[in-house]
Chains A and B, each alone.
Chain A
Amino acid sequence: MASSLLRLARRSRQAYPSFLTPLSRPFASDALVETKPGEIGMVSGIPEEHLRRRVLIYSPARTASQQGSGKVGKWKINFVSTQKWENPLMGWTSTGDPYAHVGDSALCFDSEEAAIEFAQRHGWDYRVKKRHTPLLKPKAYADNFRWKGPPDTKN
């Protein structure tokens, strides 16, 4: 959410260079009010038990079966929610956790810092998982014809 707002602001700045720039300022005037961690959660009427949730900030890995890198590098928040059960009437999945789908479907950040800041403002007890990036090894088509030592007798 935060990141999409930011992106919107950035885009508007590109489109209307000078006279609309004040719009991209943060909503709260930070000169006067200092937001404390967890305040947003408290003022937005979130039930007590969800105020100090343990969340996990991570960057989803590339799907193993696909090569495209469009979705790589995003940051997400996992609410570690497993309170689910199969509805005995219809076989649908029910959940008792209002945050069950929030992390998966709604929260996506461009950077680790943005995700951390978001979690802090909501007062969540967060843990950040390191992001793994691939090593780039220079390759050459000519390697196919390189002398690779005596042939493998195993196969």
Chain B
Amino acid sequence: MTVLQACEIAGVDIPRFCYHSRLSIAGNCRMCLVEVEKSPKPVASCAMPALPGMKIKTDTPLAKKAREGVMEFLLMNHPLDCPICDQGGECDLQDQSMAFGSDRGRFTETKRSVVDKNLGPLVKTVMTRCIQCTRCVRFATEIAGVQDLGMLGRGSGEEIGTYVERLMTSELSGNVIDICPVGALTSKPFAFKARNWELKGTESIDVTDAVGSNIRIDSRGPEVMRILPRLNEDINEEWISDKTRFFYDGLKRQRLNDPMIRGPDGRFKAVSWRDALAVVAEVIHQVKPSEIVGVAGKLSDAESMMALKDFLNKMGSNNVWCEGNGPSPNADIRSGYIMNTSISGLEKADVFLLVGTQPRVEAAMVNARIRKTVRAAQAKVGYVGPATDLNYDHEHLGTGPQTLKEIADGRHPFSSTLINAKNPCIIVGAGVFERNDKDAIFSVVETIAESAKAVRPDWNGLNVLLLNAAQAAALDLGLVPESGNSIESSKFIYLMGADDVNLEKIPEDAFVVYQGHHGDRGVYRANIILPSSAFSEKEGTYVNTEGCAQTTVPAVPTVGDARDDWKIIRALSEVAGACLPYDSLTAIRSRMRTVAPNLLNTDERQPAIFSYSLKPESRQEMSTVPFGTAVENFYMTDSITRASKVMAQCSASLSKK
């Protein structure tokens, strides 16, 4: 433990620039100088080990003078940019110069200037502001796993840059904006949009992937201005992916704000809620119950999925599912669809087997954990699936289920690595859910887990990595369709924000209701549009891939005449004469409690109780079709990110072909 950490425990905050608790120690800014008794010189507390009997003085004239000297050198070449700097108001240098800065400078020469670098569409650089703390360099190499940034030159010619002109190609690159203690790296989409003291922070969660990263939505008036990460050691530590950080401009574009009906000419006409609901209620009574189908979208919250299921069940149909869960989801055994190891538990694993999953694009924060484990404990990673670029050392074992069979039979060299592992961890991608032979694949994976002793009382290493925020809650609530291909024979389809269902499979004469917040793929086929609120505007429960229920908190008002998803379904049920027995969030949650009580224990991971051993044996034949990629484009996965301009720029310039 270092002196700085010891002081932190004692409740003394020591100023620092280069030290960051999640990065390696550099010790080059010298701002954390303290006085140590019997030491002739001030000591850099971030690098000095704390020793028994040490007497540390943090607030003596010596320490203060030493820091003032350091500050003077730092400010020597730092421009007086604060009034036009985006970091102004939340800048460590600004704050600390209040305590240790001088009111006049002794520097009379001209200030150094450095050419700005182009790091891509996300990170804006003003390199003259850089104080060479090297946090961004350490972040890129240690956490993001890209060797893009480095330190060039010496002395006053020292600068941060990419060695040759190139973009920063990491899915975590936005975090360098946060760790930069000055305004050298700032957010490009947020540049000059607002000052941080104008913003209202709302602590919410992210829904663009199944990780459920904790975020803070900063809004000004009715507008989301930016998204920042929030500390949660169990899920995202203090990082978020670029998608989470920058997709917010999609919340302002392509929004549906009025109920609309498609006329005979194929054009949408805005109508009142009363008329729209009356039309839907009329049509739903004209079709047979077996021809009613409901699909919940990727971003649906648990409350609205509960309401949708209850409503369609009341109408006599049981064909309700959530997209991404495949044609025949298995919701009986919870351990079969959540990450049983838990995200923070991945750090204890020593061998990983990734089956048909590319965590780097499917769940960037989970990938960062795996990388952390690989770096810290030299964990081995075996990967089965199409060739991909994971940012850590891995062994590409094969592309298809055949390789799994070899590992299960012990014919593959990797199977001995698995068997010798202390805490083996198998991660199956949710892309497998879409395969017809998923039961066979899961039973092979279970055989592998059994031979590697991956499921023990003290360790559960058999995981599924989900893709969407709604998936886990949908399976917890039992959104399982009666038949896998009900969509082909349907006459009435209720799409609740579902844009990635097989829209071409919907019959020509089917009546499609699209309830959602963005004009995306589903709208092209819809006959009627019911506008709903996005995750930043409503209170909803989401379960992440490790089975932790979290709630979003509304940050901004909804757009136009949109309403919360569950309220629309509740209103529709009344118009259709099948009134749902709840009309408040509390009431709908108590209904959820009867179905899936774990959804109400928010902020707490609910592990699955029963393991796969209770599952009936599958008699499915495994096909030889290789595993596919579940996420084609990391930056555009759902209706909000597809509407975002920044995400479009990212996928144009950063996505690897």
Interfacial residues, chain A to chain B (CB-CB below 8 A): 54, 56, 58, 60-70, 78, 80, 82-86, 92-93, 104, 129-130, 132-144, 148-149, 152-155
Contact = CB atoms under 8 A, between A and B. Distances in A.
Q: What 5 A-B pairs have minimum CB-CB distances, sorted nearest first?
A: A93-B221, A141-B47, A138-B1, A64-B178, A149-B378
Contact of A85 (B180, B222, B602): B222
Query: Chain B interface: which size bin?
Result: 35 or more
Contact of A132 (B49, B232, B391): B232
Given A132-B232, A155-B146, 10 more contacts: A65-B87, A65-B91, A70-B13, A78-B203, A93-B221, A104-B200, A129-B602, A134-B233, A135-B233, A136-B5
Contact of B201 (A60, A133, A142): A60
Contact of A84 (B48, B178, B394, B557): B557
B459 interface: no
Contacts of A129: 203, 602-603
A144 B138 CA distance: 11
Contacts of B178: 64-65
Contacts of A144: 24-25
B299 interface: no
Interface stretch (B71-79, B275-283, B409-417, B548-556): B548-556
Contacts of B67: none
A78 B203 CA distance: 10
Most chain B C-beta atoms within 10 Å of own C-beta, residue among A69, A78, A139, A140: A139
A143 B24 contact: yes
Contacts of B554: 80, 82
A85 B179 CA distance: 34
A148 B224 CA distance: 43
A84 B84 CA distance: 29
A141 B27 contact: yes
Contacts of B392: 152, 154
B230 A141 contact: no
B190 to A, nearest CB: 11
Contacts of A152: 392-393
Most chain B C-beta atoms within 10 Å of own C-beta, residue among A78, A137, A138, A141: A141
B555 A82 contact: yes
B450 interface: no
Interface in B199-234: 200-203, 214, 216, 220-222, 228-233
A12 to B, nearest CB: 24
B203 A61 contact: yes
A45 B129 CA distance: 53
B159 to A, nearest CB: 22
B145 to A, nearest CB: 7
Contacts of B488: none
Contacts of A143: 24-25
17 contacts: A61-B216, A63-B90, A65-B87, A67-B20, A80-B539, A82-B556, A84-B221, A84-B222, A85-B557, A130-B603, A130-B604, A132-B230, A136-B5, A136-B9, A139-B1, A148-B378, A154-B392
B145 A136 contact: no
A134 B378 contact: no
Contacts of A64: 178, 216, 228-230, 238
Given A129-B203, A141-B47, A154 B393 contact: yes
Nearest to B216: A61
B556 A84 contact: yes
Contacts of B202: 78
Contacts of A133: 231, 233
B221 A65 contact: no
Nearest to B392: A154
Nearest to A149: B378
Interface string B125-155: 0000000000000000100011100000000
A54 B71 CA distance: 47
A interface: dominant SS? loop
B21 interface: yes
B375 interface: yes
A76 B83 CA distance: 30
A144 B2 CA distance: 14
Contacts of A130: 603-604
B222 A148 contact: no
Interface in B1-22: 1-2, 5, 8-9, 13, 16, 20-21
A155 B393 CA distance: 9
A119 to B, nearest CB: 16
Nearest to B87: A65
Nearest to A59: B203
A140 B13 contact: no
B334 to A, nearest CB: 22
A74 to B, nearest CB: 13
A62 B231 contact: yes
B21 A141 contact: no
Contact of B221 (A58, A63, A86): A86
Contacts of A138: 1-2, 5
Nearest to B6: A138
Nearest to B229: A64
A56 B553 contact: yes
Nearest to A142: B49
Contacts of B2: 138-141
A66 B90 contact: yes
B12 to A, nearest CB: 10
A153 B16 CA distance: 33
A120 B178 CA distance: 37
A132 B25 contact: no
Nearest to A134: B231
B633 to A, nearest CB: 23
Contact of B222 (A54, A93, A134): A93
Contacts of B393: 152-154
Nearest to B14: A67
Interface in B169-218: 177-181, 200-203, 214, 216
Contacts of A141: 2, 25, 27, 46-49
A86 B222 contact: yes
A65 B24 contact: no
A65 B557 contact: no
A66 B92 contact: yes
B621 interface: no
Contacts of A68: 13, 92, 95
Nearest to B375: A148
Contacts of A70: 13
A78 B553 contact: yes
